[in-house]
Every structure is written in C-alpha cells, then in structure tokens.
Amino acid sequence: MASNLKLKNVVVDSNDNNSDYEDEKVSKNLDFYFSLEKLNLGPKKKLLVLNLGGLLVDRVHRRNESTVRRYTPDLSHGNFLVFKRPYCDQFMKFCLERFEVGLWSSAMDRNVEPILDNIMIGLRKKLVFVWPNTAVFPPAYKVKNNSDTFLDAKGEMLEFLEGLVDADDVPTYVKEHQFGQPAITNTHKDWDYYSKIISDVEDPSFGCSDYESDYSY
C-alpha cells in the first residue's frame, strides 16, 4: 500500500500556475507515506512450525489406557486420551509473541480440532496454519515424566528459540545449535533397525495399521 502511495504522489502537474499548490500537496502526501513506513520498521517474524503430538501434548490410545491410569487427561476424544505438556500455555504465548507459528500433526483433522480447542484457548486464531504429516522431532513428552521442564521459561526449547529470534541465517543457526533428537543417518547407532523400516516403506505392498497413535508404548 505504501509503495503505491509513493508512486502516485510524486506525479505532479507541469503547469507553472499550480506548481506551489502541487509542491505543498506532494510534500504532505510524502509525509503521510513516511509515517506509514514507520509503522513497519521492525524485522518480519520468522516462521516456526511446532509438532502437536509429542511436543505440546501426549496422545495415548485407549488400548494403552492402563499405562496412564493414575493421570487425569486434559481431554478425551475418540480413541485417545490427551495430556497437555507442563508449561504449554506460557510456551505458546512466548512463541506467538516472537514468531509466526504453524502447527504440524500426524493425527487426522477430526482429532486435531478438539485438541486445539482445548490447549489454544484464546490463541488459536493467531496460528498461521495447521499442517498434517511432516515434521522434525524434539524429545517427546510422556505424561509419566513428572519432572518435564522442556517448555519451561528456562528450558531447552525456549533457550533455543531465544537465539533463533535474532538469527540472521536460520539454517546456519540450527546447524551450529544442534537441538532435539539427532538425525537418523547411516552413522546412527540403530541404523540397522531403521534401514529395515526404510526398506519396508519403499516396498509397494507396505500398508498402514487400522488405528492412529502418536507414539508406541
């Protein structure tokens, strides 16, 4: 919008009789243009994509309910019990103030919506998008971990993001500040196991199970 104003406002009539009037008009319009420019002096926020299951919540399939019986779920929906990670609310507020935030989830849309309604009260409209089915993986949250401080103000995640906010080169920053679970390559200690999974996935006959779950128990 501001750039359009600038182009329009520097065009003046060449008629000498109107020159003083036009000069004054252009001066006022340019002042208005620069005022608009000042409204957007800060750098644009970086895009941050967060994983829903494992980072913000722990989703437990009902067939594994006995493993978390002594814990009270924040939400029960369909085949899942959902436990919100400690410090999740303040963590999301921190992220939304400093980043453009999107969410990723492996769950189906019909299962994601109730979770967002529960953990994003008053904040959901600030999300840029909710994406399914692609991700990187920080340490997963398990409801049985009573001492989880990963999303705390002094936790690993916020320390990493504090540096990311001011990073000029995001890929370089991430490379120099290794974070979360290591990439699975042929140097991984469990590569033999993962290489078999890769082979299975590449097999055309590979299929999916009939139930959904974020993590195995």
- The three-class DSSP label of residue 171 is helix
- The three-class DSSP label of residue 121 is coil
Provide the pLDDT for residue 65: 92
Provide the pLDDT for residue 16: 54
Provide the pLDDT for residue 171: 67
Q: Where do the domains of the chain lie?
A: 2-38, 46-181
Residue 140 C-alpha from the chain's centroid = 16
Instruction: Write the DSSP string, 53-95.
Output: BTTTEEEEEGGGGGGGTTS--SEEETTEEEEEPTTHHHHHHHH
Q: Is the pTM of this model over 0.85?
A: no
State which H helix or E strand residue 26 sits in: helix 19-38
C-alpha–C-alpha distance, residues 140 and 147, integer Å? 13
Q: What is the mean pLDDT of residues 4-31?
A: 49
Q: Which CATH number fits domain 46-181: 1.10.240.10, 3.40.190.10, 1.25.40.10, 3.40.50.1000?
A: 3.40.50.1000
pLDDT at residue 71 tops 80: yes
Residue pLDDT, tens place only, 32-46: 554 544 455 566 788
pLDDT at residue 138 tops 80: no
Q: How confident is the model at residue 210 (pLDDT cuts 50, 70, 90)?
A: very low
Provide the pLDDT for residue 70: 93
Residue pLDDT, tens place only, 168-202: 877 677 777 776 666 666 777 777 877 777 665 44
